[in-house]
Amino acid sequence: MSSPAPVHHLDIGIGGIHVRLRTTSPEFIGLMQARFRGFTGDVDAPDHVFDVEIVPVDYAEDEALDGISTEVRVLRDGPRWRLLCGDFDATWTPGTGRGTVRLHPSPYSLDSVLRILHTVLLAGQGGMLMHASSVVLDGRAYLFTGVSESGKTTISRLAPPDAHVLTDEMSFIRLEDGAYYAYGTPFAGELATPGENLRAPLAAIHLLAKGADNRIEPMGPAEAVRTVMANVLYFARDDALTAQVFDNAIALAAAVPVRRLTFFPDARVWDLFGTTP
C-alpha cells in the first residue's frame, strides 16, 4: 500500500487575521507563496484553517474557460457558510474556524475565497473591505474610492516617496477599541503588486473625481453613508449580516470624515494632505 501524500501548509495573515491552507500539493503552496508575498509566515495558532483540494482545469481549452461561472454566491446554512463560484466551492464554520475548499490551481481563485471570507468576518466585527486604494502618510491612512477610472490607482502611484501604499484595489478596515484602522492587503489592482503589510489609524475617506484643479469638499451625513455603502465589498445573502453591514457603514461615516476629492492627476494633489485637518 502506498503512503498518504504529505500535507503541506501555508499561513496567510491579512489585517491581523491568519488563515492556514492545508494541501497535498506543494506546487499550489509555491504559487500561493508568490501571490501573497509579504503576507505569509508561520503562526502557532491560525484563526482559521482550510483543507484545500485542487481541481485541475485545462486553461488552454476555450471550452473549459467558457464553462466557468463568474457568479458569486455566499449562503449561510445554520452555523456554516458556503462560498460558491465557478472556480471554487468552499464551506466554513466560524465557530470552529475550520473549512474546506475545492478550487482550481489559480492564485485568483484563492484570492476570491479570501476576499469573501474577510467580508463576512469584518462585517461581524464592525469593519469592512472597500473598493478603495489606501495610503499612509505621516502615520495616518487615507482611503480613496470611486467608480472605475476615477483615479484610485493613479493617486496611489502619485503618493510621495515617504508614503506607504497599503493597496491600490481593496482596502481593509478594522474597528479596534473604538477606533478605525486601515491595513495593507495583497489585493492589487493596476499596480500589480501587493500593498505594504502594516496598519495605521484611518484619517479620512475620499470620493474621487478628476478635474482641472485640486480641492477637498465635505459631504453631508447621508451622502457620506451612501458613498461608503456603494463601495463596500459584500456578497452574502443573509438579512442579519446585511443589516450589520449597513450599520457598520453608518458608524464609519459618523466617526471618520468622508469627503469629495477632485484632483488633477499629478503629485501636487498630495499637498492637500498637509493642510487639511
Tell me how far apart the alpha carbons of residues 202 and 103 are, in angstroms, rounded to a whole number: 35
| pLDDT for position 65 | 46
| pLDDT for position 193 | 82
The verdict on domain 128-274 having CATH code 3.40.30 is no
Look-up of cell digits 493597496: 167
Q: Residues in the chain, how many?
A: 277
Q: Determine the distance from the C-alpha atom of residue 138 to the mean position of all C-alpha atoms in its chain, rounded to a whole number.
A: 23
Tens place of pLDDT for every residue, the chain, 277 residues?
A: 556 779 999 999 999 999 999 999 999 999 999 999 999 999 999 999 999 999 886 655 545 444 455 788 999 988 999 999 888 999 999 999 999 999 988 888 899 999 999 999 999 999 999 999 999 999 999 999 988 878 889 999 999 999 999 999 899 999 999 999 999 999 887 666 889 999 999 999 999 988 889 999 999 999 999 999 999 999 988 999 999 999 999 999 999 999 999 999 899 999 998 655 5
Q: What 3-state class would DSSP assign to 126? A: coil
| pLDDT for position 71 | 83
| pLDDT for position 108 | 85
Q: What is the DSSP string of 158-184?
A: TS-TT-EEEESSEEEEEEETTEEEEE-
164: which 3 cell numbers? 506607504
What phi, psi does 53 have (nearest 5°)? -110, 125
Burial (CB count <10 Å: 0-12, 13-18, 19+), residue 146: buried
| pLDDT for position 237 | 86
| pLDDT for position 131 | 94
Dihedral angle of Cα 180, 184, 185, 191, to the nearest 10 degrees: 130
Burial (CB count <10 Å: 0-12, 13-18, 19+), residue 250: middle
For CATH 3.40.50, list the domain ranges present in the chain: 128-274
109: which 3 cell numbers? 481563485
